[in-house]
């Protein structure tokens, strides 16, 4: 990273205000970094013309003394699941080749109105279905981190998924911040693998309008950054009620950044006993124990709590999410937009050919699972039962939060693994989300922050969960944990913050 590409959002805003540099200089420096790091494959579509134009507009507003937005002049990367007017949106899939939206998602429209400078659209697992970024039609993203040791250091690692491109971009200094979506862990797990902060807001806190849907009752937009403070700043610019989205909550957006000033003294932190999994790596368990000690040192009270239905969360998720995916992906038929494979047969044959060529293996697998669990004779046995278990999982959290303010868990059961690993075993891949899925099923806000390194020098994350629409307490706890663990490592070869 250069001096400019290593800056936080807060530092960027201060530097622009002090005239230390211009938004245009900042944008150009990040665009140069993106060009140099194309081997990471973090971006599907780069938008240098848009970035430079928006940076110039920001500088002009500042020069004329006009009102500035909270993200004015700040470069950001956008997951390629957010529809962006006049810019291709692929969702990482072949079936959306050639699709250029004529409209803007609510979240990206808010960020544009806040003055953010879009650098490009980041790579991702196809339709957000994956935990490694290996399912993207545009090829895998490479994690900027590399394992230590002569035998391992030449291995390219996954950045996590599905928002792997956004996480890798922030970790490598290609953008000070990025946005992604989280359905079962797709922000938090990549944040852990890439050594940055990733946050999933409460379901309904950010609008889903204009986001390509995976599982509509689970999908939620959220921020990536290099600090808890930056995620708080970015979330405030993204959040808010949207009448175009029926699941958008009509609640006020508080000053998330102000919550960071409160100490953790008096906070009650729950440690779910069910999250101690059989075969959990020693490094993960040790980091979790250190996290407990760190919170206690910050003045919090830690106590064991029970979430008895935790063991059923992952199978429940992999019934509910594919069922909703099979419904949402039915619209991709080769008729209205995107890819069309027409070999001169019937309409049904055109549908089949388009979907067969347009969807990757993982998407086809989940659509088949979803169609099966929704089919006649199996709906009650699978989908309906999964919804009942989902309600029990949400009730577990409700009861736990009667005694505690936040929950502390590991983010992922391992550090980043090598590209190509686990691809022949879908269940092993799905287990990457074992700690993040329960909060998603309950619609709760959760955050992952980097807290240590494993024996190979790779980052590991800790995970905090809070009550619905209590992001303020979540940020308060996260800021305390961030201060205690003092994580300042960075990917070798990409430098550190100035």
From the candidates 58, 105, 162, 192, which is the catalytic residue? 162
Q: DSSP letter string over 352-369?
A: HHHHHHHS-HHHHHHHHH
What are the start-end ranges of the H helices in 114-200?
164-171, 188-194
Q: Catalytic residue at 163?
A: no
From the candidates 58, 79, 110, 440, which is the catalytic residue? 79
Q: Catalytic residue at 497?
A: no
Cα-Cα-Cα-Cα dihedral of 148, 458, 10, 485, to 10°? -110
From the candidates 58, 105, 163, 186, which is the catalytic residue? 186
How many contiguous H segments (helices) and E segments (strands) does the chain have?
16, 11
Q: Catalytic residue at 186?
A: yes
Residues carrying an active site annotation? 79, 162, 186
């Amino acid at each position: 990273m250069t001096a400019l590409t290593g800056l936080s959002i807060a530092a960027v805003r201060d530097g622009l205000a002090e005239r230390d540099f211009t938004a245009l200089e900042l944008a150009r420096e990040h665009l140069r970094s993106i060009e140099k790091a194309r081997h990471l494959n973090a971006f599907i579509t780069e938008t240098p013309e848009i970035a430079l134009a928006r940076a110039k507009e920001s500088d002009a507003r500042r020069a004329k003394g006009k009102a500035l937005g909270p993200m004015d002049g700040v470069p950001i990367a956008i997951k390629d699941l957010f529809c962006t007017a006049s810019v291709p949106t692929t969702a990482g899939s072949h079936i959306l080749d050639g699709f250029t939206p004529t409209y803007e998602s609510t979240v990206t429209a808010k960020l544009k109105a806040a003055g953010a400078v879009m650098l490009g659209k980041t790579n991702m697992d196809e339709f957000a279905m994956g935990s490694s970024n290996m399912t993207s039609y545009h090829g895998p993203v490479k994690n900027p981190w590399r394992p230590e040791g002569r035998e391992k250091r030449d291995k390219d690692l996954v950045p996590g998924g599905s928002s792997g491109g956004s996480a890798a971009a922030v970790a490598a200094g290609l953008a000070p911040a990025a946005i992604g979506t989280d359905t079962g862990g797709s922000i938090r797990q990549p944040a852990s693998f890439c050594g940055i902060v990733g946050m999933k807001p409460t379901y309904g806190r950010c609008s889903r309008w204009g986001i390509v849907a995976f599982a509509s009752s689970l999908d939620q937009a959220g921020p990536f950054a290099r600090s808890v403070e930056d995620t708080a700043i970015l979330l405030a610019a993204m959040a808010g009620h949207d009448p175009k989205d029926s699941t958008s909550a009509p609640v006020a957006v508080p000053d998330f950044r102000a919550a960071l000033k409160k100490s953790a003294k008096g906070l009650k932190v729950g440690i779910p006993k069910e999250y101690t999994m059989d075969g959990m790596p020693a490094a993960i368990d040790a980091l979790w124990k250190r996290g407990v000690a760190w919170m206690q040192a910050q003045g919090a009270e830690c106590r064991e709590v029970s979430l008895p239905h935790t063991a059923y969360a992952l199978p429940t998720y992999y019934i509910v999410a594919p069922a909703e995916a099979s419904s949402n992906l039915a619209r991709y038929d080769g008729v209205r937009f995107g890819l069309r494979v027409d070999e001169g047969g019937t309409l049904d044959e055109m549908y089949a050919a388009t979907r067969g060529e347009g969807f990757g293996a993982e998407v086809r697998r989940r659509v088949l699972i979803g169609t099966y669990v929704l089919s006649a004779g199996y709906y009650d046995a699978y989908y309906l039962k999964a919804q009942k278990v989902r309600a029990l999982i949400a009730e577990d959290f409700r009861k736990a939060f009667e005694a505690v303010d936040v929950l502390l868990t590991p983010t992922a059961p391992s550090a980043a693994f090598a590209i190509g690993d686990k691809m022949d075993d879908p269940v092993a891949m799905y287990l990457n989300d074992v700690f993040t899925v329960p909060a998603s099923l309950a619609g709760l806000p959760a955050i992952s922050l980097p807290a240590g390194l494993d024996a190979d020098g790779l980052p590991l994350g800790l995970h905090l969960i809070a009550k619905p629409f209590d992001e303020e307490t979540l940020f308060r706890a996260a800021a305390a944990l961030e201060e205690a663990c003092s994580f300042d490592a960075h990917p070798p070869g990409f430098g550190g913050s100035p």
